[in-house]
Amino acid sequence: MSIKILNNDEKKWFLETKNTVYVIGVDEDKNLQHLYWGEKLPYTSDYPGVLLLKESPFDNFEQIIKEEFSPWGGIRYKEPGLKVIYEDQVRDLILKYKTYKLIDSDKCKTLIIYLIDSAYNLEVELNYRLIEEYDLIERWVNIKNKGSQSVQIKQILSAQWHLPDIQNYRLSYLYGRWAGETKLSRIELGYGKKVLESRRGITSHQFNPWFAVDNGQADEDIGKVYYGILGWSGNWKIVFEKDSYGRLQIGGGINDFDFSWQLKPNECFVTPKFVAGHTTNGFGDASRKLHHYQLDYILPGNANHKIRPVLYNSWEATSFNVNEEGQKKLAEKAASLGVELFVLDDGWFGERNDDTAGLGDWYVNKKKFPHDLTSLISYVNELGMDFGLWVEPEMVNKNSKLYNLHPDWVYHFPNRPRSESRNQFVLNLAKKEVVEYIYDFINTLLGTYNIKFIKWDMNRPFSEPGWSEASKFQQQEIWVCHVQGLYQILDRLRRKYPEVIFESCSGGGGRIDLGILQRTDQVWVSDNTDAFDRLKIQEGFSYAYAPKIMMSWVTDSPNWLNQRKLSLEYRFNVAMMGGLGIGGNLNNWSKNEIKLAKEKVIQYKKIREIIQHGDQYRLLPSWKGNLIAVEYVNKNKDKAVLFVFLHSQQFGEKLPPIKLNGLISDFLYQYQDDNKKIILSGKALKEIGLKVNLKGDFDSKLIILEKQNKRND
């Protein structure tokens, strides 16, 4: 595994990961051409060479070659990687190969290829960082203005990926809405473009920046899959462009919609990362690689291998009606269940009695908490739990002290209405004083109280994104400045309070991406806590993100959203598939429910290492039928957990055995089903499977398998 360079008459780079190779070459006209991406081939001479000028038929050369990173200029009509306007109003960009550099400093090797528009001294650095063990390549671009005049960037993608020729490209992607995020959709890509994007200022509930492309026949365990995921928490887009020769180019990065960036002399613009990979082992392998990549390379240092605590969150129980007495009562109950972290949600500050007031006024509401938060926090700590707090720092209500003081702090255009959504405005994080205000209030909270967890919420998308003081060249920079401001605050807080866990929330799953995950430890996936609905949301989530990141709560039945009634066992089993939380009103739970909840928390603590750090297998995905089965196997493969959910059973319908995966063939595994102990080999569990006794509607089972040293049956 390495970055090999061929340096004869033709220059080529071979980016080798454990199982794949990615090849780039420079042609005689100094264009950078993409040559190959896929499985390793036996000989270097097997890989294709650059296309030569003379080989270009009727269509122009730039349209024929697979440009590794295409500028907008010359005779080009495809989606560009970079589009600029120079100060003299020239809008033509010519990028030619200049040189390259190899970096081998941290645990990864990085190749940087330098391109230059020499007439204007605009340098473009293409970065390729190899995540060798997971067959992934992180790509991003730095643009340096080494000229003497400003340049206006109109479009800048992080990477363009070229796929090999495939008869039918099938795209898998995640779409959704509030309370229905990360649902899997699959379509065949026809000629032309398919665009996934967000223009809402946040990653969005509607689309998540993940994709997978196969030939329509790959399954969970077999088939070639190309897949990728973007690390950006603002406006983004991924464009799938199948040209008239049937070839697919995938470009992604910051959305160029309403975007412009002024790059002054000596300044550098760095794009977010776009990571992608290739596997021959289907969607399951692709997901597992992304999961482990996130644990090892993305999550903040202190969070990646620490087990997530079981938390209690009071939102669904008390909504805005929080007070010291009520929270203490809930805390006692939560502690008795074995909860490790007690989180006080919305409503504790300012005049926040509903969603019409208070956002922005981050002082403790003394009517609700007469002894400040200190008394509640000490109480929670004495009960043996850590304390966590909800904040929504980027927002302000019109009805708040902050808005009265600083009405100019929100995005707006002069002489135009300011649209409210959930009765609130978005603060302009492009303004330094706003960033300081947010940092200061959270710093004060963390410095004053013993807070070990922050739930960072963001409950509305942007509108009227005006920034009155900015120059006319910088007006459209706000989309990027906001995200940069947010990242800056989180980075500073994390540095100062490395032990604090941060959860990203945006009205549920509106801000889930690799950018926010570099700064937060986990995400609130959806406000939809109905366990059955949640199964599909969690399944979609699992294609792109690790179970450890996924927070899931057990809430009350009937569910507040759809009134569905589900057993407590079922609700626990669904929530235990990621980071477990409890969010019901414990005051209303019966003795039997409390007893079962205690048992389930004990059970979860025994298996959470397997769930949070193991390999996840979607054995029976929801779209295949009536049964859903998901398995988790630990690193040593001596322990596994199986979750099975039955939707509804027709009379006489026989349920198929569940065929397990990821176990060692000749290891013996013991499990218990309905008080019966059963021992089977890994091979038998894979080939014959395991019978699960499920009945009726919405039944579920959690089965734990452990390796046995010898047969004792």
Q: Which residues are catalytic?
A: 457, 527
In terms of Cα–Cα distance, which of 291, 225, 168 is closest to 38?
225
Closest contact distance (angstroms) between CB of 347 and ligand DGJ is 8
Show contacts with ligand DGJ in window 338-367 (CB under 6 A).
345-346
Name residue, tokens 């048992």: 599
Binding of residue 459 to ligand DGJ (CB under 6 A): yes
Show contacts with ligand DGJ in window 606-665 (CB under 6 A).
none
Q: Which is nearer to ligand DGJ, 122 or 582 (CB)?
A: 582
Show contacts with ligand DGJ in window 247-286 (CB under 6 A).
none
Q: Tell me the number of residues near ligand DGJ by CB under 6 A.
A: 11
Query: Which member of 259, 312, 390, 453 binds ligand DGJ (CB under 6 A)?
Result: 390
Closest contact distance (angstroms) between CB of 509 and ligand DGJ is 9
Q: Which is nearer to ligand DGJ, 111 or 505 (CB)?
A: 505
Q: Which is nearer to ligand DGJ, 182 or 262 (CB)?
A: 182
Q: Which is nearer to ligand DGJ, 459 or 616 (CB)?
A: 459
Q: Which is nearer to ligand DGJ, 390 or 462 (CB)?
A: 390
The C-alpha atoms of residue 201 and residue 177 are separated, in whole angstroms, by 15
φ, ψ of residue 3 to 5 degrees: the values are: -110, 110
Query: Residue 690 gets which letter from DSSP?
Result: B
Binding of residue 79 to ligand DGJ (CB under 6 A): no
Token pair, residue 285, equals 């392998």
All residues at 6 or more sequence positions from 120 whose CB lies less than 8 Å from its CB, including other chains: 86, 90, 147, 149, 151
The C-alpha atoms of residue 40 and residue 677 are separated, in whole angstroms, by 45
Token pair, residue 697, equals 């509607």
CA distances from 214 to 171, 243, 293, 521, 554 (A): 7, 17, 21, 31, 36
Q: Which is nearer to ligand DGJ, 16 or 346 (CB)?
A: 346
Residue 502: how many CA atoms within 13 Å on its side-chain side? 28
Show contacts with ligand DGJ in window 503-562 (CB under 6 A).
505, 507-508, 524, 527
Which H or E element spans position 699? Answer: strand 699-708
- Contact present, 208 and 241 (Cβ < 8 Å): no
Name residue, tokens 């994709």: 211
Query: Residue 295 gets which letter from DSSP?
Result: I
Q: Which is nearer to ligand DGJ, 240 or 453 (CB)?
A: 453
Closest contact distance (angstroms) between CB of 390 and ligand DGJ is 6
Strands (E), 459-614: 501-504, 522-524, 550-554, 579-582
Q: Which is nearer to ligand DGJ, 81 or 583 (CB)?
A: 583
Q: Which is nearer to ligand DGJ, 234 or 347 (CB)?
A: 347
Instruction: Work out whether strand 699-708 and strand 639-646 pair parallel, antiparallel, or are unpaired.
Output: antiparallel
Closest contact distance (angstroms) between CB of 513 and ligand DGJ is 16
- Contact present, 579 and 548 (Cβ < 8 Å): yes
Compute the residue count for the chain: 713
Neighbours of 42 (CB within 10 A): 6
Name residue, tokens 């005689």: 28
Closest contact distance (angstroms) between CB of 166 and ligand DGJ is 39
The C-alpha atoms of residue 697 and residue 649 are separated, in whole angstroms, by 6
The C-alpha atoms of residue 476 and residue 188 are separated, in whole angstroms, by 35
All residues at 6 or more sequence positions from 581 whose CB lies less than 8 Å from its CB, including other chains: 310, 311, 312, 313, 551, 552, 553, 554, 575
Q: Which is nearer to ligand DGJ, 259 or 390 (CB)?
A: 390
Neighbours of 164 (CB within 10 A): 12
Residues pairing with 20 in the sheet: 39
- Interface stretch with ligand DGJ, choices 112-120, 172-180, 261-269, 501-509 (CB under 6 A): 501-509
Closest contact distance (angstroms) between CB of 372 and ligand DGJ is 21
Q: Which is nearer to ligand DGJ, 68 or 345 (CB)?
A: 345
Token pair, residue 677, equals 């102990």
Handedness of CA 499, 505, 509, 510 (dihedral sign): negative
Q: Is 506 helix (H, G, I), strand (E, B) or coil?
A: strand
Q: Is 710 helix (H, G, I), strand (E, B) or coil?
A: coil
CA distances from 164 to 1, 33, 249, 304 (A): 22, 14, 9, 34
The C-alpha atoms of residue 129 and residue 98 are separated, in whole angstroms, by 19
Closest-approach residue to ligand DGJ (CB): 346
Show contacts with ligand DGJ in window 311-330 (CB under 6 A).
315
Closest contact distance (angstroms) between CB of 584 and ligand DGJ is 13
The C-alpha atoms of residue 429 and residue 338 are separated, in whole angstroms, by 39
Name residue, tokens 């071979």: 14
Token pair, residue 369, equals 């908490």
Q: Which is nearer to ligand DGJ, 179 or 633 (CB)?
A: 179
The C-alpha atoms of residue 31 and residue 9 are separated, in whole angstroms, by 14
Closest contact distance (angstroms) between CB of 458 and ligand DGJ is 9
DSSP alpha helix (H) spans, 31-142: 61-64
- Contact present, 218 and 282 (Cβ < 8 Å): yes
Closest contact distance (angstroms) between CB of 156 and ligand DGJ is 32
Closest contact distance (angstroms) between CB of 364 and ligand DGJ is 17
User: Which residue type, as a one-letter code, is found at position 125?
Assistant: E
Closest contact distance (angstroms) between CB of 490 and ligand DGJ is 18
- Crossing angle, helix 531-544 and helix 282-293, to 10 degrees? 80
- Interface stretch with ligand DGJ, choices 153-161, 324-332, 474-482, 500-508 (CB under 6 A): 500-508
Binding of residue 388 to ligand DGJ (CB under 6 A): no
The C-alpha atoms of residue 383 and residue 659 are separated, in whole angstroms, by 43
Q: Is 138 helix (H, G, I), strand (E, B) or coil?
A: strand
Closest contact distance (angstroms) between CB of 432 and ligand DGJ is 27
Query: Which member of 197, 214, 256, 457 binds ligand DGJ (CB under 6 A)?
Result: 457
Closest contact distance (angstroms) between CB of 348 and ligand DGJ is 11
Q: Which is nearer to ligand DGJ, 276 or 344 (CB)?
A: 344
Residue ranges in contact with ligand DGJ by CB under 6 A: 315, 345-346, 390, 457, 459, 505, 507-508, 524, 527
